Amino acid sequence: MKFETLKPILACAILSSFLVGCSSAPSSSSNGTDGGSSTMSSDGGVSTGSVDGGGISGSDIDVDGGIETVFYFDFDKSTLKPESLAALRIHAQRLIANPASVRLEGHADERGTREYNMALGERRGSAVQEFLVLQGVDASLLEVISYGEERPASLDSTDSSWSLNRRVEIK
């Protein structure tokens, strides 16, 4: 009778299907090749892929294809984690060497209100943007777009899902 006694446990069992990084916006740095090069692989909700995977820019950076493009944040925070910095420096070097327009898509977990989370997602995207600009990337190449909590990487209402959803994706 009383729906207030909802069992959160039930929630966990239901689905573990993840939204793969499928945001519609086409990768602006794609070389137009279908299928092959600009791959998005999905593993446990973490989407990884190459930003500039055309395979033509392989100069002195030997991380082609393997560089992290998703950066995670703590709850209600928009400060970069120390473990994000190495990969972000590589992104910066690439963008300096091969300038291309990039989307920094900021996301929040589902807790809190939707429009406030839009602002939080933007703050996270801006944190990545500021870091890249400090490394010397032309700011005009970087556009921050917040999706708030509207595009979760993982749909469960659990701590582990939430930690996957508080993120910035470089696209």
Partner 1 sequence: MLKRVSRIVFLIVLMPLSARAELSIEITSGVDNPTSIAISPIMMKGAPLAEDISAIVGADLDRSGLFSAMPRANMLSNPRTLSEVYYRDWRIVGMQYLVVGSVIRQSDGQLSATFSLVEVAGERVLFTHVAKGRDSQLRDIAHYISDKVFYTITGIKGAFSTRLAYVTAINEGGRQVFRLMVSDADGARERLMLKSKEPIMSPAWSPDAKELAYVSFETGRPAIFRQRLDNAKREQLTNFKGLNGAPAWSPDGKSMALVLSKDGNPEIYLYRFATKTFTRLTRHFSIDTEPNWMSDGKSLIFTSDRGGSPQIYKLNIISRKIERLTFNGSYNARPRLAADDRTLVMVHRSQGIFHIASQDLVTGDLRVLTQTRLDESPTVAPNGAMLMYATKRGNKGVLAAVSIDAGSRFLLPSRRGDVREPAWSPF
Question: Which spans of this chain sit near partner 1 (rule: CB under 8 A)?
Answer: 1-4, 6, 8, 10-11, 14-15, 17, 19-20, 22, 24-25, 110-116, 118-120, 122-123, 143-148, 150-151, 155-157
Query: Which residues does residue 107 pair with via DSSP β-bridges, in sequence order?
Result: 148
Closer residue to partner 1, CB minimum distance, 82 or 140: 140
Closer residue to partner 1, CB minimum distance, 24 or 134: 24
Closer residue to partner 1, CB minimum distance, 67 or 165: 165
CA–CA dist 28, 108 (Å, integer): 23
The CB-of-44 to partner 1 minimum distance in angstroms stands at: 16
Which of 133, 168, 171 is closest to 147 using CA atoms? 168
CA 165 → CA 16, 58, 71, 109, 142, distances in Å? Answer: 14, 31, 10, 5, 21
The CB-of-164 to partner 1 minimum distance in angstroms stands at: 15
Closer residue to partner 1, CB minimum distance, 3 or 60: 3
Closer residue to partner 1, CB minimum distance, 9 or 60: 9
Phi-psi region of 24 (alpha: psi -120 to 50; beta: other; left: phi over 0): alpha
The CB-of-31 to partner 1 minimum distance in angstroms stands at: 19
